[in-house]
Amino acid sequence: MIDSTGYTYAHEHLHIDLSGFKGDIDCRLDQYALICDEMRTLMNLGVRNIIEMTNRYMGRNPQFMQDLMRDTGINVVACTGYYQHDFYPEHVATRSVKALAQEMIDEIEKGIEGSELKAGIIAEIGSSKGTITDLEKKVFNAAAIAHHETGRPLSTHTSFSTMGLEQLALLSGFGVDLSRVVIGHCDLKDNLDDILRMIDLGAYVQFDTIGKNNYYPDAKRIDMLHALRDRGLLHRVMLSMDITRRSHLKANGGNGYSYLLTTFVPLLRQSGFSQADVDVMLRDNPSQFFQ
C-alpha cells in the first residue's frame, strides 16, 4: 500500500471539486498536465506516496488518480468516507449507520465506483467548527465500524483545529484504538495544549496546512514542532499541505506541492531540526501508520 523507501504527503487532494458548494471555480482542482508536472517534481525530491483525502462527494476521480500513478510513478492512496456536515449528500441523514459503513467497506474491499482502485484509508471524516453535529457523529460511528471490519486507519478533518480531542473521545467510545487515528489540520491555530493531549491519548497529529500562511504562519508551525521535538514526540507527527485549489498550483501562481520540501523543510533545518527528524515525520511515521 505504501512505498516506505520515500516520503509521504499525509493529507492531500489531487482531484477535488468543491466549486459548486463554494461558488468559486478556483475550488475545482482538476488540471491534469499541471498536477502531473508537480508529481514528477515531487518524485525527484524523494516523495513516493500521496494520501488522497477526497472522498466521493468532494469530487473524487479514480481514473485521474490511476492515470497519475501510471504517468508519474507516484503511489496514490485513495480514501472512502464522508467529509463534513455542510458537504454531506442527503442520504447521510436517511441511511442507517450500518449502510453507511457498508459503502465504506465496499470501497475498501471491492473498489471505487467500478474502478480497480481500492480505498486504503477511511478519510477525511470531519467535524464542524467548535461542534460535532449529530450527523457527523453518525459518520464517525460508520467509519469506526468500517475500521473494525477492514483494519484500515482513520484520518480526520477538523475545522480550524477545533474538536480534535472530542473526535478522539468519540472514536474511543466506538472502540477504536487511537494509535490507528490521525487528527487532521492541527496546525491552524496555537494548538500545542490540545496536540499534547491528543498524542498522550495515543493518536497521531497532522501539520497538514503547511504554506497556508494567510491562515496561520509557518513560523508558528515551526515553533509548535520545536515544542514537540523538545518533548521527544515527533514520532506522532505527519506533514502535508492540503492543496485544494487551482491557485495553489505553482503554474497558477501558488506554492505548489513542492513548497513543503523546497521551502518549509529548509526552514526547519535552519531552525535546528536534523535530517533524521525530518525523515521521521515525512517517511517513517506515515509508512508505519498507512502501511
Should residue 60 be labelled a site residue for Zn ion when binding is judged by CB under 5 A?
no
Residue 15, marked binder:
no
For the CB of residue 286, give the shortest distance to Zn ion in the complex, in Å. Answer: 17
For the CB of residue 277, give the shortest distance to Zn ion in the complex, in Å. Answer: 25
- H/E stretch holding 7: strand 7-12
In order of 69, 76, 82, 191, 198, the CA distances from 220 in angstroms are: 34, 30, 30, 10, 19
Q: Are 81 and 52 within 8 A, CB to CB? A: no
C-alpha cell at 83: 467529509
Residue 148, marked binder:
no
For the CB of residue 157, give the shortest distance to Zn ion in the complex, in Å. Answer: 4
**By C-beta, is 51 or 104 nearer to Zn ion?**
51
Residue 242, marked binder:
yes
- Sign of the dihedral through C-alpha 236, 85, 94, 167: positive
The interface mask with Zn ion, positions 166-195, x = CB under 5 A, is ------------------------------
**By C-beta, is 83 or 259 nearer to Zn ion?**
83
**Cβ neighbours of residue 141 closer than 8 Å, sequence gap 6 or more:** 97, 101, 174
**By C-beta, is 120 or 184 nearer to Zn ion?**
184
Of 121-129, 162-170, 198-206, 282-290, the window that binds Zn ion (rule: CB under 5 A) is 121-129
Q: What is the largest CA-CA distance in the chain?
A: 53
Residue of 200, 254, 192, 203 lying closest to 227 (CA atoms): 192
Q: Are 290 and 121 within 8 A, CB to CB? A: yes
C-alpha cell at 14: 489531487
For the CB of residue 102, give the shortest distance to Zn ion in the complex, in Å. Answer: 24
Number of residues counted as binding Zn ion (CB under 5 A)? 2
Within a 10 A sphere around the Cβ of 234, how many other Cβ atoms? 18
Residue nearest to Zn ion (CB): 157
Q: Which of 157, 221, 246, 283 binds Zn ion (CB under 5 A)?
A: 157
Residue 85, marked binder:
no
**By C-beta, is 124 or 187 nearer to Zn ion?**
124
**By C-beta, is 107 or 187 nearer to Zn ion?**
187
**By C-beta, is 72 or 167 nearer to Zn ion?**
167
Separation between Cα atoms, residue 288 and residue 24, nearest integer Å: 37
Residue of 171, 77, 62, 82 lying closest to 126 (CA atoms): 82
Separation between Cα atoms, residue 211 and residue 255, nearest integer Å: 7
Of 98-106, 122-130, 137-145, 161-169, the window that binds Zn ion (rule: CB under 5 A) is 122-130
Residue 185, marked binder:
yes
Residue 226, marked binder:
no
Q: Which residues bind Zn ion (CB under 5 A)?
A: 124, 157
Binding residues for a divalent metal cation: 11, 13, 124, 157, 185, 242
